[in-house]
Amino acid sequence: MILYKGEILEDSRQEEIIASLRNELYKPLEAGKELPLDKVINACDSLARAVLDGVYDEILLPYLKKFSISRQRFIGMARLFLEKSLKYKCSVELCDDERLIDGGIIRKRLPLGVLLHIAAGNVDALPAYSVIEGLLSGNINILKLPAGDSGLSVLLLGELIKIEPALTDYIYVFDVPSTETQTLKSLADLCDAVVVWGGDMAVKAARQLTGVNTKIIEWGHKLSFAYADISADEEQLMELAENVCATNQLLCSSCQGIFVDTQSYQEQISFAGRFFEALKRINSTVGQVDFGMRAKNAISIYNERLEQHSTKNVIMSSGGVSVICTDDSELKLSYLYRNVWVKRLTHDKIVQTLKPYKNYLQTAAVLCPNHEKRAEICKKLANAGVVRITSGGNMSRTVCGEAHDGRYPLREYSRIVESEFV
């Protein structure tokens, strides 16, 4: 399904619409129209309240189950789109809309113009979220749906237009396969910037689509981890295990593994054993992951055991969860779905070890009871390139007004215009 001029249409109309899109796309810009921020915020607030009131439960509840998202976490996410939250977000990110600078120059923030959003498919509502940020910054938005999209994004954006018809000329959604590069290039040529979500391959593909005249805004794949002192207590381990189980390690902010501040192999194994017990306990209380993923990981763990004679890895597994101790300090993706690696990394080597991963670093949970040492560790992690530092339980908590991967999206989707004339 596609969304055009506020109507949900069949894919069969897509080629015809895209061919004539230029004639419609720039009309708000030609007319000098500005998208009022209050209309965007009010529409989002109304939609968020309907979601919280259960109006869309028939559609949303299967989505929550599919992505193992708890009702509590979902409610927290929905509240970010309430009026109070969005006004705060905009006050933080768009804090210098207009001002007079030296020489009588008027400086004003304006939207980039037209954004093409190429969203990843790992979180079903992400495409709609990306478009909403484009709206908050005043842009016209074209969304390319990810492969296998469930239709949730089209539904949510269509409902947003029903609530506020003024958004009609600012939202277009197309279901263009990634293989149709010529069509995607034609869409990218119409835009001031391409917003791409996903891993290295997605970013590389987006770069090949765009000419030098089009800006690329990357929200690439990130890796997150925990850094632990061996004195970390049981409560901290349980909180971290809760993050692993609640997110199944699918988010960029999810814990993939734990670096332990020690040179001792025995201390590493001992710490891993303590965390393994915490992980098993949490896993038993929240319920196991999907059988298919457990079967897939069972094969991975079996292969680990077959190679154990050469890798010397220590493998702890039970009930669909595992902890694997290795003798390297490589930052890498885990097997996901409650399978965690544990490695040694002394705090004096944090920067030199993690700096090479600078563009992949996102969240680090610090598990260290000692305040002074914790402050030192946090500083080193920040100097290495980490952009979010949290406790274990808050790794994937979304906070109103926080940056995304160390940047403010609404600023990324804006430009500054300076003029001598009012």
Q: List pLDDT tens digits, range 203-219.
A: 999 999 898 899 999 99
Are 230 and 217 within one domain? no
247 is a domain residue: yes
Note whether 163 and 211 are same-domain residues: yes
| pLDDT tens profile 228-242 | 999 999 999 999 999
- Regarding whether 413 and 314 lie in a shared domain, the answer is no
Please, are residues 283 and 294 in contact by the beta-carbon 8 Å criterion? no
Query: Cα(43)–Cα(345) distance, rounded to whole angstroms?
Result: 48
Q: What is the pLDDT of residue 422?
A: 66
| 64-104 residue pLDDT tens | 777 667 778 788 889 999 999 999 999 999 976 677 787 78
Residue 266 has pLDDT above 90, yes or no: yes
Nearest to 241 by CA among 64, 232, 350: 232
Q: Does 248 map to a domain?
A: yes
User: What's the pLDDT band for 121 if we cut at 50, 70, 90?
Assistant: low
What is the rounded average pLDDT of the residues 346-354?
A: 98
For residues 396 and 243, the answer to whether their CB atoms sit within 8 Å is yes
pLDDT confidence bin for 221, thresholds 50/70/90 = confident
Same domain, yes or no, for 328 and 359? yes
> Where is pLDDT greater, at 297 or 88?
88
Task: Find the mean pLDDT for residues 155-161.
Answer: 94
Give dist(CA 52, CA 75) in Å, integer: 7
192 exposure class (CB count in 10 Å sphere: 0-12, 13-18, 19+)? middle
Q: Where are the alpha helices (DSSP H) in 287-388?
A: 291-306, 308-311, 350-354, 371-384
Looking at the structure, do residues 56 and 80 belong to the same domain, yes or no? yes
Whether residue 208 is found in the same domain as residue 237: no
Q: What whole-number distance in Å separates Cα of residue 38 and Cα of residue 358?
A: 37
CA dist 349 → 260, 345, 383 (Å): 12, 7, 12
Task: Name the percent of the chain lying above pLDDT 90.
Answer: 73
Residue 68: predicted pLDDT: 67
Question: Would residue 332 count as lying in a domain?
Answer: yes
E-assigned strand segments in 229-273: 255-260
Rounded to whole angstroms, the Cα distance separating 345 from 170 reads: 49
Indicate whether 400 belongs to any domain.
no
Q: What is the pLDDT of residue 124?
A: 54
In degrees, rounded to 5, the angle at the alpha carbon of residue 279 between the alpha carbons of residues 276 and 284 is: 125
CATH number of the structural domain spanning residue 352 = 3.40.309.10
Same domain flag for 273 and 334? yes
Cβ atoms within 10 Å of 237's Cβ, excluding its own: 24
- Residue 168's pLDDT is 97
Residue 351 has pLDDT above 90, yes or no: yes
User: CA 382, 386, 387, 389 torsion: positive or negative?
Assistant: negative
pLDDT band at 421; cut points 50, 70, 90? confident
Please indicate, yes or no, whether residues 301 and 311 belong to a single structural domain of this protein.
yes
Per the structure, the count of domains in the chain is: 2
- Considering just the CA atoms, what is the radius of gyration of the chain in Å? 23
User: Same structural domain for residues 98 and 186?
Assistant: yes
Contacts of 361 (CB under 8 A, 6+ apart): 222, 223, 331, 354, 384, 385, 386, 387
Local confidence band at 294 (pLDDT 50, 70, 90 cut-offs) = confident
Phi and psi at 380, nearest 5°, equal -65, -40
Helix axes 83-93, 37-52, angle to 10 degrees: 140
In a domain, 131, yes or no: yes
- The bridge status of strand 193-198 relative to strand 2-4 is unpaired
For the stretch 123-138, pLDDT in tens is 556 789 999 999 999 9
Residue 146, pLDDT > 90, answer no
For 102, the token pair is 């030296």
- DSSP character for 407? B
How many C-alpha atoms does 419 have within 13 Å on its Cβ side?
Answer: 7
Same domain, 31 and 111: yes
* Residue 44 or residue 10, greater confidence: 44
Same domain, 106 and 118: yes
Task: Quote the domain boundaries for residue 258.
Answer: 223-394
The verdict on 105 and 235 lying in the same domain is: no
Please indicate, yes or no, if residue 163 is contained in any of the structural domains.
yes
- Give the model's confidence band at 171: pLDDT under 50 very low, under 70 low, under 90 confident, else very high: very high
- Examine residue 399 and state whether it is found in any structural domain, yes or no: no
